[in-house]
Amino acid sequence: MNSKSLTGTPEAFGTTKKISKVFIHSTVHGGGVATWRLSKKGSTSEAGVSLVWLWLMEDVAVWEGEGIEGGGGVAPCFLAMVSDVLHKIVSTISNQWTWWWDAGNKKDEIARAVLTISILLLSIFYYRWTILKSRNRITAPLPPGPRGLPIVGYLPFLGTNLHQQFAELAHQYGPIYKLWLGEKLCVVLNSPTLAKEVTRDKDTVFSNRDPPIAALAGTYGGVDIVWAPYSSYWRTMRKVFVREMLSNTSLEDTYNLRRDEVKKTIRDLHSKIGTAVEVSEITFLTELNVVMSMLWGSTVDSQRVDSIGIEFQAVILKMVELLAKPNMSDFFPILARFDVQGVEREMKRLLQWVERILDPILEARMEISRGEGDQEDGLKRKGKKDFIQILLELKKREDVSVPITLQQIKAMLLDIVVGGTDTTATTVEWVMAELIHKPQIMKMVQEELSGIVVLKETFRLHPPLPLLVPKRPNQSSIVGRYTIPKDTRVFLNVWAMHRDPEAWDDPSEFNPERFLSDASKWDYNGNNFQFLPFGSGRRICAGIPLAEKMVMYVLASLLHSFDWKVPEGEELDLSEKFGVVMKKSKPLIAIPTQRLSSLKLYE
Ligand code: HEM
């Protein structure tokens, strides 16, 4: 056979090697060496196709070519090796026989031939049988998808509104399809059935995140909750956050704090009556102040919290923007060290900036804990802990399964500030925009405050995280009859699912009443796979109780206290701009007018 061999670690073949024909000779996993025999004339019957592209993932080979796609586990390669060994055994046995058969007897010769042929046939049958068996086991192909260009894949065709483009591709390729973005294989899922498969049936496989480099740079390598891999570390951090900060008791304890912040906002707005205000900016600051007070309110006095808020706002928005920026380093890991677009550098610079705020707060908190600060008495009198105190206590404890460091605490604090503010502010902005667009529904809400259905309908039409947070399966698996190889980036397009005409009547229409019937069916807990604004499964949003309380409280206060309209001569724009958090393409600018009869109610 006119063949040549290539050897190397699987990673060396991990990307897109253009190969004309491939005969899988043998693969040794674990040792990490793969040998491929490239052949012009050689048999390609192992794969059964003339191959054009071949990728080898850790435990699965995936091929595509001349209109045929396929995949195979390591078993066929391993079997090729087994067949080699069998061949050697047969010839060894045959050689062994020569001393035994050397008598030259014709009968013996026939017997020898029959025996040899039988052994050969048996080997062939065994080989075929095991090949077929293994093929049946792992032959699910890769999902279909657009071809793209060599090397860059589909990258040049990506538009700015990714969620909409992904929804259009689903019309063409079906509810599950793949895209190559540079060297990154991505799979997009667009149906409740598939959502259920990855977030319920195979949740452990799909509970890892696929952090972009910007996320790693902004979280000391992913030691926060959002980007941490699925691990006991993540479990501990999430548990601490949910139990200590967002338990019913904690939320009740912090009610006054939220009330005070929202009242302050309403007072402030009242002083601006008749002038145009940016709705998301107001909500953002309110939410930020609430979250910060919960995190370090007992440590930092309220005036300082306010000034930190204004500093923080700009940096958080910049961070969220960088997370969504297409970064060549993510699509071509070989370029990562050059950081061509400077995304990593910029994120690290922002992180340093955040540290300049967080470090003194943590230091002050540690001082207080050491009993050296003047505030100790005040804190004791307040009788409650803020969240950084709980985290710092956890750091000191030796009995926790996963010891935590100061960096991890900072990553987690930042996570909560970033994860909790922009999402909430954007949601309030969308609800307000939809209500200003439909004044009769705004009236309904103001009169009977059936705000919850309005909120749900807004989440349906404008889910703040339209593609959730990308997942990365920790092993290859079959979803919707297709193989999703290990380490693929998996997007769940909830935006498309929330607008699927098969699931929703008039899906593009803002109609909160659709949520009136059987309201309990439409909770946010990820059990109804047609409606997943907070995701589903183990990695579902950790902040739902606070998010719901804050959004509802701010909305009710804005709508109860004021009437709203857009400035004269301006048209309300409801178009979307893709991002990790999906915003309005133009911020909502609106004018509040007094609604309550007594000025006292605004104090
Ligand atoms: C309207 C408000 C919010 C929305 C729509 C929202 C949505 C989401 C979504 C879709 C995810 C990813 C879920 C998945 O991948 O399946 C997520 C994760 C997360 N959210 Fe939220 N969120 C909101 C508010 C908050 C708040 C207020 C906090 C904290 C104070 C928060 C903290 C988190 C955290 C820590 C995670 C990561 C969970 C994990 O990976 O285990 N979120 N959120």
Task: Encode pLDDT of 393-451 as tens digits.
Answer: 888 776 666 678 899 999 999 999 999 999 999 999 999 999 999 999 998 888 775 78
pLDDT beneath 70: ranges in the chain: 1-110, 112-113, 116-117, 119-121, 123-138, 302, 371-385, 398-402, 449, 519
| Angle (nearest 5°) at CA 48 between 44 and 53 | 75
Q: Which two structure tokens, joined as six digits, stand for 302? A: 């309220």
CA nearest ligand 1 atom 3, residue: 423
Residues 6+ apart with CB under 8 A from 554: 262, 265, 283, 286, 287, 424, 428
As a whole number of Å, the CA-based R_g of the chain is 30
pTM (predicted TM-score): 0.77
Q: CA-CA distance, 539 to 511, in Å (whole number)? A: 29
Q: Hey, which residues does 55 pair with through a beta bridge?
A: 62
Sequence-separated (6 or more) residues with CB below 8 Å from residue 598 = none
The 10s digit of each residue's pLDDT in 436-463 is 999 999 988 887 757 888 999 999 999 9
Rounded to whole angstroms, the Cα distance separating 187 from 560 reads 44
- Which pLDDT does position 77 carry in this prediction? 39
Residue 420 CA to ligand 1 center (angstroms) comes to: 7
Ligand 1 pocket test target in 541, 546, 548, 583 with most atoms within 8 Å of CB = 541
186 known ligand binder: no
Residue of 231, 468, 534 best suited for mutating to test ligand 1, as the one with most atoms within 8 Å of CB: 534
C-alpha to C-alpha distance for 538 and 549, rounded to whole angstroms? 22
What's the pLDDT score for residue 151?
A: 92
Collect contacts of 10-17 with beta carbons under 8 A, ≥24 apart. 10/34, 10/56, 10/57, 10/58, 13/54, 13/55, 13/56, 14/55, 14/56, 14/57, 14/183, 15/55, 15/183, 16/53, 16/55, 16/150, 16/151, 16/180, 16/183, 17/53, 17/54
